[in-house]
Amino acid sequence: MEQKLINKMIAQERVILDWAQWLEHFGFCLSLLFIPVLPLLYHVRAYFDPTHVINSDTFLTRMSILLIVVSIISYLVQRRKLKFLKIQLDMREGDFEEALRRTEQSEKWIFSTKRKQIIQAIHPGGWLAAGEMLTIIKLKDGILINSISDPNRRSNSLSKHNKRNVSIFLENLMEVIEQVPEKIQVPVIPEKEWTLSMILKRLLLYPISLSLIILGIYVIFHSPNYVGLPMGIVTIIMPSIYLYSDIQIITKQKSSTSEWL
């Protein structure tokens, strides 16, 4: 990683992605714009072909406006996730490296970049989760730290390990600074899925997902041409994957938690 890029991250206090990573990170926001393109195509075609009659579908137009609004909100949320958390503290020589060693050992981090000033590590995921990418920059008076879904693989905004990744590293760093002996590794009880924030998130995303599925069915059967079939199928698949993934996560967490009862 070039020093120029590191300096830019420090100045902006934000993780900078390459184009492929950017498209993966903001992929969901872009996919929401797929359906709104349909009414636009009708108007473009009418502009070049005066004989073409525009389909004045009020429902599709309203849903397109809704999807554009949701896409903008999703973009702002994803952009906010790139922001570094800045922690000011005094570290002795070697404290940062020891905290990295402890966290790497307990969390199975895989380093993609490991330099004196910056590290980027991947916390492996599974079939339904992309894992997370952690970026930590060492400053003279502290650190910048960020954890997002791994943009080098399929993004999964459902991942709740990002906050945990940051918390565990900061806990290890503070223990090293305070010269607390390294703890014996013990199994971690899975996090609860039915916290207030997760309930509110599902109350928002489940209705949106079901609305998209209904919209996809509507587009398939009411589109005036062949374009509606693939667009409707894609519109149904996207929220269906989210619902399936979330239900799988809930089921897996319930099964794991029962082992501790």
Residues 218 and 133 in one domain: no
In a domain, 242, yes or no: yes
**Pairing label, strands 110-114, 142-149:** unpaired
Q: Is the same domain home to 38 and 68?
A: yes
CATH number at residue 161: 3.30.310.80
pLDDT higher at 108 or 250: 108
- Other C-beta atoms within 10 Å of 143: how many? 20
Instruction: Give 41's DSSP letter.
Output: H
Does 229 reside within a domain?
yes
Supply the mean pLDDT for the chain.
78
pLDDT digits (tens, 9 = 90+) for 109-136: 888 888 888 999 988 765 555 688 999 9
CA distance 232 to 247: 23
18 falls within a domain: no
Q: Which residue has the higher pLDDT, 168 or 227?
A: 168
Same-domain check for residues 89 and 73: no
Last residue of a domain, one of 110, 145, 177: 177
Q: Would you say residue 13 lies in a domain?
A: no
Query: Could you tell me what percent of the chain has a pLDDT over 90?
Result: 23
Residues 6+ apart with CB under 8 A from 193: 249, 250, 253, 254
Asked whether residue 101 falls in the same domain as residue 51, the answer is no
Residues 73-102: tens digit of each pLDDT: 889 989 999 999 999 988 888 899 999 999
Residue 11 covered by a domain? no
pLDDT at 51 over 90: no
Burial class (CB in 10 A: 0-12, 13-18, 19+), 169: buried
Query: Quick one: 69 and 92 in the same domain?
Result: no
Looking at the structure, do residues 74 and 96 belong to the same domain, yes or no?
no
Give, as one character, the DSSP assignment of residue 14: B
**SS3 call for 16:** coil
Give residue 157's domain range.
84-177
* Alpha carbon separation from 205 to 70, 73, 201, 219 (Å, rounded): 11, 13, 6, 21
Please state, as a whole number, how many other Cβ atoms lie within 10 Å of the Cβ of residue 14: 18
Tally of domains in the chain:
2
Q: Do 100 and 117 belong together in one domain?
A: yes
Judge whether 236 lies within some domain: yes
Of 7-11, 69-73, 255-259, the poorest mean pLDDT is in 255-259
The separation between CA 6 and the C-alpha centre of its own chain, rounded to angstroms, equals: 22
Do 52 and 100 sit in the same domain of this protein? no
Q: Give the residue with greater pLDDT, 81 vs 182.
A: 81
Q: Domain end: 120, 151, 177, which one?
A: 177
Local confidence band at 154 (pLDDT 50, 70, 90 cut-offs): low
Does 223 map to a domain?
yes
